[in-house]
Amino acid sequence: MKKDRDQERQKVLTRRALMLGAAQIGLVGTLAGRLYYLQVVQADRYRVLADDNRISIRLLPPPRGEIVDRFGVPLAINEKNYRVVIVREQSGDVPLTLERLGRVIDLPEREVRRVLRDMRRKRAFVPITVRENLSWEEVSRVEVNAPDLPGISIEVGLSRFYPYSAQASHVLGYVAAVSESELTGDPLLELPDFRIGKNGVEKVHDQHLRGTAGTSQVEVNALGRVIRELSREEGQPGRRLEITLDMELQRYAVERLGEESAAAVIMDVHNGDVLALASTPGFDPNAFNRGLTPNEWEELISNERGPLTNKAIAGQYAPGSTFKMVVALAALEAGVISPQQRVFCPGHMELGDTRFHCWKRQGHGHMDMHDALKHSCDVYFYEVSRRLGIARIAAMSERLGLGRPLGFDLPGERGGLIPTREWKQARFGKPWHQGETLIAGIGQGYILTTPLQLAVMTARLVNGGIAVKPHLTRFTPEQAGLHAISAPGATTAGPGGDAGFPSMGVSQEHLRLVRTAMAAVTNDPNGGTAWRARITEAGMEMGGKTGTAQVRRITMAERLTGVKKNEDLPWRQRDHALFVGYAPVNAPRYCCAVIVEHGGGGSAVAAPIARDLLIETQRRDPAQGRPLAFVPPGRS
């Protein structure tokens, strides 16, 4: 009995030993299989993961594409940017090191605070930029004092530089650091020193100028410290962009406008090339690239002459008498008055109980259309506008490019305003009055235009009625076929060509009548309002139209006692001076629009500027590609 129990117990122990052994064998087999799977089957995968921990791929910002004018003159380039950086773990006492550095180079307190703030956010071995755009003299001083500046070193990068500074600032715009709202998920935008276009051409063509990032493969340790660079692949530089501007003509236009708050546009009347687009005062785009100080920013935004506003495309002004060609052409097309029909001007016109005055107090007498444009008679155009009505004036204005944006390839273009009955009812909830039509007939009241629109209006009047559109982007051979480089509406029409632009469908005879009157404005000594500003060089003569836009209301009491002269008024209350012109008068090729804010009379102020600009344009003849010799400016 006892023997049977011992045998049973032995069998149980044996079974348990076998089960335990089997379990152990299974466990060891599973472990071996898992090791085989990880080390043999999945070897490549885990090798990649290990390399991912050891190897870091870093983006290299590409050089930004250059911007050049129509003759290849560099307008926006990349130059070496020397910057001083500090590494916290190598510096030890960072505040002391920065204090010593401040004795070697100029280091504002705000920059010190920024560096110390960045130190708390980044790892100890990550370099932090202390100051950029160091001069060679400052670099030399830092290098000489290097033993006393632990953790401080000089790095070399690329920075955007604008050789012409403020002279082309409103056209080119500027680049600056990427803001949080501009992050799109593109890792290139997250690089700390990367810059994107913020305004002007730099903004419109930012994607093409930006280029494609390169990569640097570096080996790092567990903390992320770079041990060595394993490989490098350079990115593709941004595309070179050529624009229609003639920089020497642009420079001349800015200098001719001087210190005035003013704008000037010079344009090819046939293909829409904008040769100069000047707005004064300007600003230094290089300051935006390096970073404006609070004082610099306050000075810009508090300047009453608006240096940050591109007045050529965003300044909106009453066109004054430069609008009278629109009314004249509309009247001829509608048949409400013939060119020979005369209107008597006694110096004013009565409508109900309101008197509308002519600029010439004693009146012009009997005027036909030619003389009315030549003398700029207000009463004549009061009467013509009364017969026309605001609807037909607005329709012709639209055909000539007024009252809405032109689709110009710069940001910030404004559309101006050409009022209608429907517009006033919707805007003010009031009906249109006939007196407002009279005021609109001389380019006052609600009407607003930009200098660019006035240039386009002039071009369409003198080029045979072709609805030319202005553009700034110019194709180059390397950009052939890359239509995305050009803004919508841009054209590649060559000199003398109107390809791609439709006809306005206006009578050629009516256009000739208006153009002949514009020629008399500048070339007829018997009453031409701009005769003193005429071009005397044979073959370069210009036609045009003066304009003076009031910015204040003249009361009846002031008229009785004598209207105050512009020079006796505060600057803000003085009239705007305008002039639109074209040349040569017998074969129009170029047009020009000039406005001088609060400058006074158009004939005395704006017309001489336009004359000089048209002379310079014809001497250079940008359409034929014959620039004068010039030396690009250096850094000031």
User: CB–CB of 451/576 below 8 Å?
Assistant: no
DSSP states along 267-287? EETTT-BEEEEEEES---HHH
Q: What does the alpha-carbon distance between residue 60 and residue 49 come to, in Å, rounded to a whole number?
A: 23
321 is known as an active-site residue: yes
Q: What does the alpha-carbon distance between residue 450 and residue 470 come to, in Å, rounded to a whole number?
A: 13
Encoded amino acid at 232, one letter: R
617, two tokens: 């344009």
User: CB–CB of 577/619 below 8 Å?
Assistant: no
User: CB–CB of 596/577 below 8 Å?
Assistant: yes
Encoded amino acid at 150, one letter: P
The burial class, CB within 10 Å (0-12 / 13-18 / 19+), for 228 is: exposed
CA distances to 135, 281, 299, 300 from 295, rounded to whole Å, are 22, 18, 6, 9
Catalytic residue (one of 321, 376, 385, 397): 321
- Give start and end residues of each alpha helix (H) in 400-534: 421-428, 434-440, 451-462, 508-523
Helix (H) or strand (E) holding 382: helix 378-388
Q: What does the alpha-carbon distance between residue 506 and residue 504 come to, in Å, rounded to a whole number?
A: 6
124, two tokens: 């100890």
CA distances to 351, 553, 559, 610 from 355, rounded to whole Å, are 6, 14, 12, 34
Q: 189-196, long-range: CB within 8 Å, 24+ apart, which pairs?
A: 191/59, 191/61, 192/129, 193/61, 193/129, 193/157, 194/61, 195/64, 195/160, 195/289
DSSP states along 134-161? --HHHHHHHHHTGGGSTTEEEEEEEEEE
Q: What does the alpha-carbon distance between residue 145 and residue 188 come to, in Å, rounded to a whole number?
A: 35
Where b means 16+ CB within 10 Å and e means fewer, 315-335 reads bbbbbbbbbbbbbbbbbbbbe
433, two tokens: 């009055």
| Chain-centroid distance, C-alpha 190 | 24
Positions annotated as catalytic residues are: 321
